[in-house]
Structure 1
Amino acid sequence: MNNYRIAYNQGWKVLKDRNFNRVSKIRDVKYREDVNIFEIDILGDHYILDCDSEKIYNTETLEDMDISLAITLLNYLGFSDDDTKIENKWVSLKEIPNGGNLYYPAFYKSSIEPLIKEFGYSSDIFLIIALGLGGAEYKFGDVSAVFNIFPRVPICVVIWEGDDEISANATVLFDSSIQKIMHIESSIGIGMFITKQLKDLTIYLK
């Protein structure tokens, strides 16, 4: 059994120790007790978490959710029993306790460098794609957008466009409340997920 499958199974185990109705309340996801499922929308796709079969799948395609995202979602639902609210304070991964600074160099390479490469000289394309994914234009940088990947996990992607004299730059920001909602590795997973979604859609505009 590979590490992803072990983490996936453990995520279900932790979630099943929770009260599902409380999870529904504190994480703003719909729970249908009659069929024992959670429902959640992620960037326009609707997913079912079947708590009996321990399957997570897209209701339109019936395909299983990517296992990395599934592990992150299970962590979001099961990590904490706190009714944590969004704090409206943006922080970089480096500022998140319990490993953010340690993991930042790898996160920069996997998530921020691709943003710079894809959008550092084409911020207009970034904004088109971001809005198409359901993002909301924001006030940071030359262009930025906020995405609610999960209901209480806003992510802000910021682009500073480069030119002949100034190098392009980018960052991914998290609400400071994320440390109370998800493990640091799941926070990283959310950042990697939005970067991949943005990057994958450039094929249609370039």
Structure 2
Amino acid sequence: MEKFNKVGNYNIPLDYAKNEFSKKDPILMAKLSNSYYDKSTSIFHVKCMDFTLYVEYPSGDIYKENGEKLDKIALEILVIRFLVNANPIPPTNKYITFKEIDGGHVYYPAFLRTSINRLTKEFGGNVEKFKSVMKNIGASKINMGDSAYKIRFLNDTYIIYILWSGDDEIESASNILFDSNIKHYFNAEDIAVIGDIPFIRIYEELDNL
């Protein structure tokens, strides 16, 4: 979980994103991102996986459902960028690999290491555990691989985790796809991180098993 906390120079892009956020019209951002905006409190309600995040305007400070301030800086940056760059593009139900995203080939080695290989390592030998965790984080089962689930990232953006369990002759494997509308909200560098964000919830559920 440490990698999601405030490390390195991530405060620089977060401060920049918050500054851009403060300049935008909140009503327009809410409309374009399909987010609820409470005018009386100046707070956005953004759906993330199986929970809601609350984003204050114009500060850009983000709070969890229990009232605690979000302390996962990678997710903070992505939520603010989502609101700033939002386009009213609904889910297409057409799924693309990371390599199909413009510039994806540049970040693919990191994406493979931090997201795809992590998925294989955690669940390749235990499909039933994968199914249990996915259900507990509100994912929807779909018909791909040996087992696959669609996970909401933010509002109308979705990620698909696919698992092949393998056997004595074939090693287990996994892949991560995205609804193609993700290209209208994030660039390749952002999406390289997005594939790893659900592990915030996955680790919580694994601790409860």
TM-score w.r.t. structure 2 length? 0.89
C-alpha deviation, 1:7, in angstroms: 0.9
Q: Which residue of structure 2 aligns with residue 105 of structure 1?
A: 109
Contact 1:79 1:183 in 2 (8 A): no
Alpha-carbon distance change, 71 to 201 in structure 1, aligned in 2, over 3 angstroms: same
Aligned to 2:3: none
Q: In the aligned structure 2, how far is the partner of 1:74 from the partner of 1:53?
A: 10
The equivalent of 2:45 in structure 1 is 39
Q: Quick one: distance in 1 between partners of 2:19 and 2:167?
A: 50
* In 2: Cα distance, 1:191 partner to 1:51 partner: 27
- 1:23–1:77 Cα contact (<8 Å) kept: yes
Q: Among 82, 88, 93, which residue is 1:88 paired with?
A: 93
SS in 1 for 2:62: strand
Question: Counterpart of 1:185?
Answer: 189
8 A Cα contact 1:112 1:171, kept in partner: yes
The answer (yes or no) to whether the contact 2:53–2:63 under 8 Å persists in 1 is yes
Tell me if the contact between 1:123 and 1:159 (Cα under 8 Å) persists in the aligned partners. Answer: yes
| Pairwise CA distance, 1:199 | 4.4
Q: Which runs of 5+ in 1 are unaligned?
A: none
Inter-CA distance 26–175: structure 2 relative to 1 (3 Å threshold): same
Q: Contact 2:161 / 2:175 at 8 angstroms: preserved in 1?
A: yes
Letter in 2 for 1:68: A
Q: Given residue 109 of structure 2, which amino acid in structure 1 is its aligned partner?
A: P
Residues 138 and 31 (structure 1), Cα distance of their counterparts in 2 relative to 1, 3 Å cut: same
Match of 1:79 in 2: 85
1:196 deviation in Å?
A: 4.5
How many residues align? The count is: 203
1:48 alignment partner AA: Y
Deviation string, structure 1 residues 111-161 (Cα, Å, up to 9, x no partner): 111111111111111011001000001111000000112111110000001
CA RMSD in angstroms comes to 1.8
Distance 2:180 2:50 in 1: 25
Return the offset for 1:61: 4.5
Q: Contact 1:126–1:198 (CA<8 Å) still a contact in 2?
A: no
> Structure 2: which amino acid aligns with 1:69?
L
How far does the alpha carbon of each residue in 1:24-82 deviate from its partner, in whole angstroms, 9 at most, with x for none? 122111111222111123233332111144311113151324111000111111124x3
TM-aligned CA deviation for residue 101 of structure 1: 1.1
Question: Structure 1-normalised TM-score?
Answer: 0.91
Aligned partners of 1:144 and 1:83: how far apart in 2? 27
| 1:39–1:171 Cα change, 3 Å | same
Using the TM superposition, name which of 33-42 and 119-128 deviates more: 33-42
